[in-house]
């Protein structure tokens, strides 16, 4: 009986050796790859958290610079965020804050450059679209009408549709196109919720163009 068990065990051992000889290298590589993937995933998450923490600290410094009206320091902090933490949400927010600070301090060219970066490279679509809306306004102020139109064309989010239409209305007025301006302002007005105070500004714009709006007839009033 013992001899029979020994033979059976020996046969199983030989089968195991044959299996490992055939598949051992593949199994080893698969296990190694799985461990490397896990280590890479863990390392990436740690790096992301570390980057976000550093960017968050710098964003706090930028907020303080903005509150102090220190445009030089604010611009320096933003440039560092842009260079080292471009993909984080903090840098996208920082671009909008830095551009406003620059504009408030009469640094229009710097503000345009900051918004251009955000429009092209911010880490999320909403921030890119916000930057485009603000950039288009600056381009219109600089009589760069063709560039402003292209910037507005790049805004794809439907959520910003009414604001884009409002900007297009302003652009049409600057180009002496009152009919187009009426159409765009009415589109913006109809697309906004009744509760938004911004609609009053649109009412005033439409009124200057001879258009009176009835709130009960607008889609925005029903939302």
pTM of the model: 0.73
**Sign of the dihedral defined by the CA atoms of residues 178, 182, 187, 192, in that order:** positive
Length of the chain: 223
pLDDT at 15 over 90: no
Per CATH, is 32-128 categorized as 1.25.40? yes
Helix ranges (DSSP H) in the chain: 2-68, 71-84, 89-104, 108-121, 125-141, 145-153, 161-174, 178-191, 198-208
pLDDT at 7: 65
Rg of the Cα atoms in the chain: 30
pLDDT at 3 over 80: no
The per-residue pLDDT for range 67-112, each reduced to its tens digit, is 999 999 999 999 998 888 887 888 888 999 999 999 999 999 999 9
Q: What is the pLDDT averaged over residues 4-10? A: 64
The per-residue pLDDT for range 144-187, each reduced to its tens digit, is 999 999 999 999 889 999 999 999 999 999 999 999 999 999 99
- The CA distance from 56 to 50, in Å, is 10
- Residue 195's pLDDT band, with cuts at 50, 70 and 90, is confident
Contact (Cβ atoms closer than 8 angstroms) between residue 134 and residue 98:
no
For the chain, domain boundaries:
32-128, 157-223
The per-residue pLDDT for range 117-151, each reduced to its tens digit, is 999 988 778 999 999 999 999 999 999 999 999 99
């Amino acid at each position: 009986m013992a001899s029979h068990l020994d033979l059976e065990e020996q046969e199983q051992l030989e089968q195991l050796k044959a299996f490992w000889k055939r598949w051992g290298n593949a199994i080893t590589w698969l296990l190694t790859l799985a461990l490397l993937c896990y280590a890479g995933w863990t390392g990436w998450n740690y790096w992301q958290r570390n980057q976000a923490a550093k960017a968050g600290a710098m964003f706090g410094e930028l907020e303080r610079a903005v509150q102090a009206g220190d445009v030089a320091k604010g611009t320096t902090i933003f440039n560092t965020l842009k260079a080292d933490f471009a993909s984080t949400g903090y840098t996208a927010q920082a671009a909008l804050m830095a551009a406003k600070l620059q504009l408030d301090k009469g640094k229009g060219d710097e503000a345009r450059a900051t918004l251009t970066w955000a429009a092209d490279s911010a880490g999320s679509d909403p921030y890119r679209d916000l930057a485009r809306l603000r950039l288009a306004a600056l381009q219109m102020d600089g009589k760069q009408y063709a560039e402003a139109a292209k910037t507005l064309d790049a805004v794809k989010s439907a959520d910003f549709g009414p604001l884009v239409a409002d900007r297009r209305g302003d652009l049409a007025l600057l180009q002496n196109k009152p009919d187009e301006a009426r159409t765009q302002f009415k589109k913006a007005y109809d697309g906004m919720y009744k509760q938004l105070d911004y609609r009053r500004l649109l009412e005033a714009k439409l009124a200057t163009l001879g258009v009176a709006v009835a709130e009960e007839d607008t889609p925005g009033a029903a939302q």
